[in-house]
Structure 1
Amino acid sequence: MTIHRAVVARVQPLTPAMTRVTFHGEGLAAFTSTGVGDEYVRLFFPHGPDRQDVSLPRSTEQGGWETPEGRPVAPMRTYTVRTVRPQAREIDVDFVLHDHGVASGWVASARPGDVIGLNDPTGLYRPPADLARQVLIADQTGLPAVARLLEGTPDGVRTRVVLEVPDPSAVQPLTRPADCTVTWTYGGNGRGPSRLADLVEAAVPPGTDLTHGYVWVAGQTNALRTVRRYLRKDLALPAERFKVVGYWIPGSDTWSERYEALPGAVRTELEALWDRPAEESEDLTIRYEARLSDLGL
């Protein structure tokens, strides 16, 4: 894994709730896009008021990263890559604006010349080779990925999109492939209870034929626990027929502290859940998420 240095080139408001930041620089010369529409990067932000002083971590042989000795740890958040322009050495990242958090606070004052770090991208959208139909459902945080997935959808794939955004002002124009329907709904997104589970069940009711289909859902992590269980257990979908991606957690700034405050025996129990090599990863995730819900996490 490589950690790249990038500089803000442009800042463009998209809606009252979302801003696009274009990153540019020689540090992106080695940036290699996966080409997958929901690919994401980890962004490393300045640790103090100097917006050009970023404590860039170093890659490790194990594929992770470490902070150089004597340097402060850079705050890190994960974001979808909206657009890649390799010849211009630019990428776009769309940020949801809210009244708290490291990334939102940073982007509210972002201007050309600000420095940031980012790593190589990873993509999660992996439809089967026989794809003929797909359902894409997300809240506002998943909107950039949905937009890019639609731009990459080949003709002949029937696509249903359902997006939950806070209100009509958050709606954005989307480039739609042939045979695509888009439905916008309003609510959730931290301003009210998420309806993602209901939206998925309405779009993919019991009895839906997904022989040649794929379901991709992204948004509030807690709400998606019900979605994952519905797709895997109630509909009995094979793991290769769906992808559920948690993008954010209410109270995420304190989630790690609350996890670390659990009794040591409980944390050991949670970690031990993954020591089941014969069990399907989606089933392990469901078991793990159910235990987190029991613990209020």
Structure 2
Amino acid sequence: MKERNFARIRFELQARPVVVSRVEKTSEGFISIVFSGPLLAQFNSLSFDDHIKFIFTNAAGETVRRDYTPRSFDTATQELSIAFALHAHGDASDWAKNAQPGDSAVIAGPKGSMVIPADFDWHLLIADTSSLPALARRLAELPADATVIALIQVDYDSDRRLAEPTDTQQISWAQTHQQVLRQLETLELPAGEGFSWVAGEHAFALRAREILLDKGQPKTLMKAAAYWKKGAADFHEKI
């Protein structure tokens, strides 16, 4: 087994006031919002599944905090992009639907990054709508010739928006969590040493992790997290 360095990097926790610079509805299920602010000059996000606290005021005047993944950060313009999944109900989704340039919010974090090496023989990425922005960032940051298998659940066909896959990337889309799990159950893991990343709804992520362990994927070469849980608000948990 090749020795690889999983770098854990800590940052000073800082709350940064930001304003909306641009808003783009990228698909039926997502809105991309670009934020700017002078304190973003010190912003750091070194891993694709870092988490920030997005702090905003809802329609009732209450302060709300939600976890999000930085989709991208432009160091030249000091602009931070976040992809918001749209739901029928939810304070953050409602805020994003109504966001206009000049609207204010606060970005806190990330507290740190765990940088996963890119030189594995293969990468397995399993996501649902909530974690698709993190998966998309990972694909963008991996070498173009990296061997990648991605199994993704999304709510709408128009959400199937990723960069054009390369010859070494296999991307499978599904409409339900169960369809993704069935795809995973029949998947034969490639030869060599690979890393598996799973994120999404709590029960879905737990089951995907169990399937991978049954297939012989070592715990040390896997990262799983629940980005949300049915019936719970503001839920995030490492698995």
Q: What TM-score, normalized to structure 1? A: 0.68
Map of 1:112-261 to 2, 5 A cutoff? 112-121=101-110, 122-124=112-114, 126-127=116-117, 131-188=120-177, 194-203=178-187, 205=188, 208-209=189-190, 211-232=192-213, 234-253=214-233
SS of residue in 2 equivalent to 1:146: helix
Q: Does 2:22 correspond to 1:22? A: no
Deviation (angstroms), 1:170: 2.1
Decide whether aligned partners of structure 1 residues 28 and 180 sit closer, same or farther in structure 2, where only a CA change above 3 A counts: same
Measure the CA separation in 1 of the matches of 2:152 and 2:141.
Answer: 18
Measure the CA separation in 2 of the matches of 1:235 and 1:22.
Answer: 40
Deviation (angstroms), 1:198: 2.3
Which letter maps to 2:25? Answer: P
Measure the CA separation in 2 of the matches of 1:150 and 1:210.
Answer: 20
Confirm or deny: 8 A CA contact 2:31 2:84 kept in the other structure.
yes
SS of residue in 2 equivalent to 1:240: helix
Report the structure, 1 or 2, having the larger helix content: 1
Count of aligned pairs between the two proteins: 225
| 1:4 corresponds to | 16
Which letter maps to 1:78? Answer: D
Confirm or deny: 8 A CA contact 2:28 2:156 kept in the other structure.
no
Measure the CA separation in 2 of the matches of 1:15 and 1:83.
Answer: 18
Confirm or deny: 8 A CA contact 1:136 1:159 kept in the other structure.
yes
Which letter maps to 1:17? Answer: G
Report the structure, 1 or 2, having the larger strand content: 2
Decide whether aligned partners of structure 1 residues 170 and 155 sit closer, same or farther in structure 2, where only a CA change above 3 A counts: closer
Deviation (angstroms), 1:96: 0.6
Measure the CA separation in 1 of the matches of 2:79 and 2:164.
Answer: 21
Unaligned runs of 5+ in 1: 51-71, 189-193, 257-281, 286-297
Identity %: 27
Map of 1:270-285 to 2, 5 A cutoff? 285=239
CA RMSD between the two structures: 2.5
Deviation (angstroms), 1:155: 4.1
| 2:49 corresponds to | 38
Which structure has more relative contact order (CA 8 Å, sep 6+)? It is 2
State the structure with more CA Rg: 1
Decide whether aligned partners of structure 1 residues 210 and 175 sit closer, same or farther in structure 2, where only a CA change above 3 A counts: same
Any idea what the Cα deviations from partners look like across 1:229-261, whole Å, max 9, x if unmatched?
2223x23432221111211111223989xxxxx
Q: What TM-score, normalized to structure 2? A: 0.84
Which letter maps to 1:44? Answer: I
Measure the CA separation in 1 of the matches of 2:235 and 2:147.
Answer: 38
